């Protein structure tokens, strides 16, 4: 299939941010004096919009989710020093896709401020013709982000593919009627991704070229 549009998740797909996200959530728990969750459970909420993620992870604190989200943003930006870098091969792959006239977009649970900052710092902003964040759409796995992107770019669902590292991404793609490719270098493993019937599962970012070109 020749896809006209490739939609990327960001955290754990384009950029190796998962360790920083987990550590920041742990620091939020420390700040407010409640118990940290396990790494596995904490990773499982990555991809949801921030308030929804924190309310899901810490249900006893759900009424304070907006306050916790504000604390998370401040700690992520100003306190936690866990490094974040693009996965190997990211710019090479997206450049080749762009050079082949494939439209590129992002659908992420990050905030608009957070995504714009990382797009600027990474130098990738000019490759993406559309982006949606948790500030502008319903939280994943609701298909709203993908549906907004498809409508904006006038692309049919069968002409698009979603690339993501979580079962939340795979579920969102299925609900939107678009194909999905899972990557195993973020949150979920191959078996977890396979349960959502992606068309491919890859272990390295550069392998995406073999299923997209």
pLDDT of residue 1: 67
Residue 37 is classified by DSSP as P
Identify whether the C-beta of residue 159 lies closer than 8 Å to the C-beta of residue 133.
Answer: no
Closest C-alpha among 4, 6, 7, 11 to residue 122? 11
| pLDDT per residue rounded down to tens, the chain (213 residues) | 689 999 999 999 999 999 999 999 999 999 999 999 999 999 999 999 999 999 999 999 999 999 999 999 999 999 999 999 999 999 999 999 999 999 999 999 999 999 999 999 999 999 999 999 999 999 999 999 999 999 999 999 999 999 999 999 999 999 999 999 999 999 999 999 999 999 999 999 999 999 998
pLDDT of residue 213: 86
Domains and their CATH numbers in the chain: 5-16+84-212 (3.40.50.1000), 18-78 (1.10.150)
**Three-state secondary structure call for residue 81:** coil
**Three-state secondary structure call for residue 84:** coil
Question: Any idea how long the chain is?
Answer: 213
pLDDT of residue 2: 85
């Amino acid at each position: 299939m020749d896809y006209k549009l490739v939609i990327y998740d960001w955290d754990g797909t384009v950029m190796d941010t998962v360790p920083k996200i987990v550590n920041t959530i742990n620091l939020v728990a420390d700040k407010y004096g409640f118990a940290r969750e396990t790494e596995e459970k904490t990773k499982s909420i990555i991809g949801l919009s921030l308030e929804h993620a924190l309310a899901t992870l810490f249900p006893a604190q759900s009424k304070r989710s907006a306050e916790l989200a504000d604390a998370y943003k401040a700690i992520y930006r100003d306190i936690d020093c866990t490094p974040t870098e693009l996965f190997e091969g990211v710019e090479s792959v997206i450049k080749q896709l762009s050079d082949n006239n494939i439209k590129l977009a992002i659908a992420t649970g990050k905030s608009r401020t957070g995504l714009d900052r990382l797009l600027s710092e990474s130098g990738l902003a000019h490759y993406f013709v559309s982006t949606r964040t948790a500030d502008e759409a319903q939280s994943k796995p609701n298909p709203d982000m993908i549906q907004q992107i498809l409508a904006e770019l006038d692309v049919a669902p069968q002409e698009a593919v979603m690339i993501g590292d979580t079962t939340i991404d795979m579920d969102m793609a299925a609900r939107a009627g678009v194909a999905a490719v899972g990557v195993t270098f973020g949150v979920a493993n191959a078996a977890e991704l396979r349960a959502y019937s992606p068309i491919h599962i890859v272990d390295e970012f550069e392998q995406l070229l073999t299923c997209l070109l």
